[in-house]
């Protein structure tokens, strides 16, 4: 175990976004994908995710279709996923709508809630819970370019997919 987790959202079928994220994550233990994985037509991203060198945990996005489950090789794309990592409770969802995910994260006292949907990256703390949106890996909105995130023992870093430049950093403390 290398002590790193990748976080990505809203790839919308873009293989290049996944390839760039793989380079930046390096030797990750696993990846959370917060939904809107594939696009309207198969591009090969589904095979890349199936063959990833680590587990990929995917929460269903508003653009994910029932047939995507078969393409990705997952029996069910659930609306929420949870994991314990480095003594931290992580809750993942797509974030559409955001309020139920926010309330669930606060109610279960998650250390980290990760989500996508808005295509805008952000890190916000509320009542001891960190809310992380890695932005969109393929179709960013706002000022930020295409981005993803990495978690390690020092904290959370949102980075530009193209060059790894840090957009936002938040320590765990």
| pLDDT tens digits, 91-101 | 999 999 999 99
pLDDT at 2: 64
Domain harbouring 37, CATH code: 3.60.21.10
Tokens of residue 4, six digits: 């790193």
Does 20 map to a domain?
A: yes
Does 106 map to a domain?
A: no
The count of domains in the chain is 1
| pLDDT tens digits, 124-145 | 999 999 999 999 999 999 888 9
Does 104 map to a domain?
A: no
Does 102 map to a domain?
A: no
Does 84 map to a domain?
A: yes
CB atoms within 10 A of CB 126: 11
Does 103 map to a domain?
A: no
Q: What is the pTM of this model?
A: 0.95
Does 77 map to a domain?
A: yes
What is the domain range of residue 92? 5-97+111-171
């Amino acid at each position: 175990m290398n002590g790193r987790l990748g976080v990505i959202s809203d790839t919308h079928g873009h293989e290049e976004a996944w390839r760039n994220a793989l380079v930046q994550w390096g030797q990750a233990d696993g990846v959370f994908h917060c939904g809107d994985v594939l696009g309207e037509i198969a591009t090969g991203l589904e095979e890349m995710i199936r063959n990833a060198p680590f587990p990929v945990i995917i929460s269903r996005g508003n653009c994910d279709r029932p047939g995507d489950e078969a393409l990705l090789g997952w029996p069910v794309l659930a609306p929420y996923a949870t994991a314990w990592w480095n003594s931290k409770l992580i809750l993942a969802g797509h974030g559409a709508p955001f309020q139920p995910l926010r309330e669930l994260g606060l109610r279960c006292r998650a250390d980290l809630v990760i989500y996508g949907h808005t295509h805008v990256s952000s890190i916000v703390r509320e009542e001891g819970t960190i809310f992380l949106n890695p932005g969109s890996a393929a179709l960013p909105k706002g000022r930020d370019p295409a981005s993803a995130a990495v978690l390690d023992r020092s904290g959370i870093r949102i980075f530009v997919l193209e060059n790894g430049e840090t957009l936002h950093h938040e320590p765990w403390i």
